[in-house]
Amino acid sequence: MTSIRNRGEKKDISTSNSRSNSDEEVFEDEPAPQIDEDDLRDVNSDVDLASQHNSNDDQWKSFTILDDTSAMGENDSDIMARGSKVTVHEQQSHGSFVSSENLKKQIFIVIAVVLVMIILTIHISKIESVNMSLRKSGAYIAPDQCFADIHGSTHSSQDEEIPFFWHIPHSSFIFEAGATSCLELTLASYHSGDQELESKLNVHTINGKSFVNVDLFSTEGIDHAAKLHLAKSDLADVMVSPFVNYGPRMLLDKNMGRLFTIMRDPIPRAISVFDSFVSSATIPEISEMNISEYLESQYMDSNWMIRAITDKRQLETIGEEDLEYAKSILSEKCLIGLYERIEDSFDRFENYFGWEGISGKAICQKQIYQKAKEREIETNERSGKAIYDDDKIIEAMRRANSWDILLYEHAVSLFAEQEFFSEENISISSSFK
């Protein structure tokens, strides 16, 4: 804005000081907006052309007056000269007035454009804020609407669909290891980079594995990724999050995701959770806790899988309606993998999504499967054997996870059914290559 004003003042040499001062006082009341030079190219060219036109007119007037006075007598010339001075002054004043008016019009247009841009920016920001609030409340789009039908594509453009892996603790870690190491996929999971919640999305490498710099293992991180439009960035091959309800609600549009997961028998999973919880604790109160104390403590989580799907907290009651809803999500929207059938599960994922992986994929995956088995053996030696030998403890764990057990049994039957996908359904893998 300042550069335009200075050019106008240089061209308009007859503009009074009082007028300039008055104009400047008007603009001191509000900060000068920053305008892109390209936006003002047409405006500046109009100002320059107007100035050149006025300047050429002045030269033409001076040349004509000189010719007229040279052909007259002295007295007539003196009279004409005096009249000419008045005429020239009036014409110059008129030209300056027109130039000032044009400049004022151009400045007004620029200010109007800037104000419109500011209003639109504020309006868009408010809309995004409302959308975020609606998504959080679930009124904007339900989680089940975020995922395409497992038996075929319901999205208008398959290229926009994004694989969304539901991470179940102590069941799904094996997928993430295989996906990054053996399939060379870029994951949006819980690696936010050197700076927490960065302001720009990018892909960074950790030990040769590629991750988008977001944290989808926390609601704060999911909100941040949504503001950065992670789903439309095309940076992640797979989104990975334990928040199968909140995550897609915030990150995905209707039918935008392809849901898949790896489920595990709830009893061995619960034992693994307990073992990891006490063995990694630094507080004696927890590290010295036995399974009976754990089952009666505030730290024990029950029916984790159904609570994740229905977005219900530990103190909220789970019922038949919740089970049926969770079953419907798995049946209609989710490609099932089983921890107990991990090799078959990986093969199914690769076929469904069209993932090929590295040349030594088979060896890579075998190493990962072996590490998972070794980890399971260590868990059983520390905690599992004693727990499995105690019928009362096992029964207590079954009661605590009764709804998850029913959901897992449904998942096992779905795993068998999904094995017989038709070629038409499997052909959607071309969308993710």
* Structure-token pair, residue 245: 């309800």
The distance from CA 193 to its chain's CA centroid, rounded to whole angstroms, is 16
- Give DSSP secondary structure letters for 354-366: T----TTHHHHHH
The predicted-structure confidence for 295-348, as pLDDT tens digits, reads as follows 999 898 899 999 999 999 888 899 999 999 999 999 999 999 999 999 999 999
Residue 103 domain flag: yes
What digits encode the pLDDT tens for the residues 69-101?
333 344 444 434 444 444 444 455 555 555 677
pLDDT in tens, 206-215: 988 999 999 9
Beta bridge partners of residue 203, listed in sequence order: 212
User: How far apart are alpha carbons 414 and 339 in whole angstroms?
Assistant: 14
Domain membership of residue 82 (yes or no) is yes
> Is residue 232 domain-resident?
no
Tell me how far apart the terminal alpha carbons of the chain are, to the nearest angstrom.
Answer: 50
- pLDDT recorded at residue 151: 78
Residue 121 has pLDDT above 90, yes or no: no
Give residue-wise pLDDT tens across range 332-347: 999 999 999 999 999 9
Asked if residue 147 is part of any domain, the answer here is no
Q: Name which residue leads in pLDDT, 144 or 271.
A: 271
**Mean local confidence (pLDDT), 136-140:** 48
Residue 124 sits in the same domain as residue 264: no
d(Cα 418, Cα 334) in Å, to the nearest integer? Answer: 10
- What is residue 316's three-state secondary structure? coil
| CB burial of residue 7 (10 Å; 0-12, 13-18, 19+) | middle
* Mean pLDDT across 106-111: 84
For residue 27, the enclosing domain spans: 2-137
Q: Average pLDDT, stretch 418-430?
A: 57
Q: What is the total count of domains within the chain?
A: 2
Verdict on whether the full-model pTM lies above 0.85: no
- In this structure, is residue 185 part of a structural domain? no
Residue 83: inside a domain, yes or no? yes
Amino acid at 78: D
Q: Are 222 and 143 in contact (CB under 8 A)?
A: no
388: exposed, middle or buried (Cβ count in 10 Å: 0-12, 13-18, 19+): middle
pLDDT tens profile 157-197:
445 789 999 999 999 889 999 999 999 999 999 987 655 55
| Residue 120 pLDDT class (50, 70, 90 cuts) | low
With respect to residue 287, please indicate whether it lies within any of the assigned structural domains: yes
| 335 close to 150: Cβ distance less than 8 angstroms | yes
For residue 409, how many other CB atoms are within 10 A of its CB? 12
Which of 90, 116, 137 is the C-terminal boundary of a domain?
137
Estimate to the nearest angstrom the gap between the alpha carbon of 132 and the chain centroid.
12
